[in-house]
Structure 1
Amino acid sequence: MNKLTVEKITDLDNDFKALEETFATLSWNVIAECPWQSMYPYCPEVRFQIAHSDKFIYLHYAVTEEFVKGQYIRPNENVWEDSCVEFFVSFDQKQTYYNFEFNVLATGLIGYGPTDKSLRKRLDIESVESVDACTKIVKRKGEKRWEIFLQIPKQIFGNISYSGKTYHANFYKCGDGLPRPHFVSWSAIKNDKPNFHLPEFFGEITFE
């Protein structure tokens, strides 16, 4: 099981330049598990950083891949078909979890509930749009590199204690609708076919 520490930083509400400067001092984590490589051999290069403040959880993904696709522009659309990064987190020992999915256009989808899809629900549009984001795309020497910063308000999760607490999460990169579909995770998944909705394989994240 993978483990990481979520460092505590000062609130940087919508100041993405200051956030970029702060994240320059933080450690990186690699998303490099390709559980279904026999079916989907392509694995893009993906790294992420994570931190939190009194009001927010901050995420920074850096992706290098062959193709970059951004089709969906409305909250809760099928962003996983685009160039997409994801963050799944559980605060109750994997009984329920949130899934945050954002494409290269910063279009978001947020779901919540248990593993049973019939009991899961999408959060309202206001909640999805409360997650502010900043993206950047660079094409260089035939490769396409893109980054996204996400600022997730903690109020989405309700009354949760963070300091010194350990919870469960996984981080992903996918692109179901790309010319070379792929499904890459931070913490390894053991399943016959692609499925990120398996909290039993989440890793541990501990908040400073």
Structure 2
Amino acid sequence: MAKQFDCQFIPAEKLAGYASFLDDCSKQVIDNLLWSSNGYFPTVKFSMAYTDHGILLKYFVKEKYVMARHTQVNDLVYKDSCVEFFLSFDNGSNYYNLEFNCIGTPYGAYGSVKPYRAELPANVVKQIKIDTQVINADDEGFTEWEITLGIPFSVFIYDDIDSLKGTECKANFYKCGDETPEPHYLSWNNILSDEPNFHVPEFFGMVKFV
């Protein structure tokens, strides 16, 4: 059974402190470890809300190997310590994938499954407000980092979105690090696939904007 959760609305008067609001929101766990032979299992959670103008999303990550080599918009950030958000407004036929490494370098694309996808223009991806925080490693060598994202509706250029209230969208949330010392793939909603592939909208869960 696919996962689902209710995404809460934040009124304008509370937007000034939305990062702390997301700290206090109920968190979803990205807890499906996929295609793993080493058992390495970072701890990843996220919280999400929405406003009159966009989506707010915050990831909370604890992992052993924090790596960021890609610094330009639409670089291949999935090779670094990376979190991802895939969202469809048409029941999975087409979807946006937004990806961010631990220093906040963004990547965005849209379309149906590979290879029928197109990168979002850099000037569109740059509209996403990104704030990152890396916390020092603990005694066991694990580092915590957080990334807060403000994604305006204008990023969804292939859809005419002026409000999400009362809608349901298909989505999935991921953590990966293809070229880190211990490559890993985690998903919020489970994926049944023999090979590493996040581009499987049939395995998206559901987000209800209440």
Q: Per the shorter chain, which TM-score range? A: over 0.9
Question: 1:194 — aligned with what?
Answer: 196
Q: Percent identity?
A: 38
For 1:14 and 1:102, the matched residues in 2 are separated by 22
Partners of 1:40 and 1:121 lie apart in 2 by 33
Q: Answer yes or no: is the 8 Å Cα contact 1:11–1:55 preserved in 2.
A: no
Q: Which runs of 4+ in 1 moved over 3 A?
A: 11-15
Q: 1:42-121 counterparts in 2 under 5 A?
A: 42-117=40-115, 119-121=116-118
Deviation at 1:20, TM superposition (A): 2.3
* Shift of residue 51, structure 1, vs aligned partner: 0.4
1:124 and 2:126 aligned:
no
CA contact (8 A) 2:56 2:151 kept: yes
Identify the residue that residue 130 of structure 2 maps to in structure 1. Answer: 133
Q: Deviations over 1:174-200 (max 9, x none)?
A: 000100000000000000011000000
| Structure 1, unaligned runs of 5 or more | none
Shift, 1:155, TM fit: 1.6
Paired position in structure 1 for 2:5: 4
- Superposition TM-score, scaled by structure 2 size: 0.93
Q: 1:116 to 1:12 in 2, by over 3 A?
A: farther
Give the Cα–Cα distance (whole angstroms) in 1 for the partners of residues 172 and 179 of structure 2: 21
1:104-160 Cα offsets, whole Å, 9 max, x none, are: 11000000001131x210011101111011111112222200000000011222313
TM-score (norm 1): 0.94
Equivalent-residue separation in structure 1 for 2:68 and 2:96 (angstroms): 23
SS class of match (2:33) = coil
Compute the RMSD of aligned alpha carbons. 1.6
Q: Deviations over 1:35-88 (max 9, x none)?
A: 213x35211000000100001101100000001001100001110000000000
Partner SS, residue 207 of structure 2: strand
Helix, strand or coil at the partner of 1:173: strand
The separation in 2 between residues aligned to 1:73 and 1:146, in whole angstroms, is 17
In 1, Cα distance between the equivalents of 2:66 and 2:101?
10
For residues 151 and 40 of structure 1, the distance between their equivalents in structure 2, rounded to whole angstroms, comes to: 34
The worse-fitting range, judged by mean Cα deviation, of 81-90 and 23-32 is 23-32
Check conservation: 1:130, 1:153, Cα contact below 8 A: yes
CA distance in 2 between partners of 1:13 and 1:110 (Å): 28
Q: For residues 135 and 165 of structure 1, what CA distance do their matches in structure 2 show?
A: 29
**C-alpha separation in 1, matches of 2:148 and 2:73:** 17
Gapped regions of structure 2 (runs ≥ 5): none
Q: How many residues align?
A: 204
Find the aligned partners of 2:42 and 2:129 in 1 and give their Cα distance: 25
Checking the alignment, whether the CA contact within 8 Å between 2:128 and 2:155 is kept in structure 1 is: no
Using a 3 Å threshold, how does the CA distance of structure 1 residues 104 and 199 change in structure 2: closer, same or farther? same
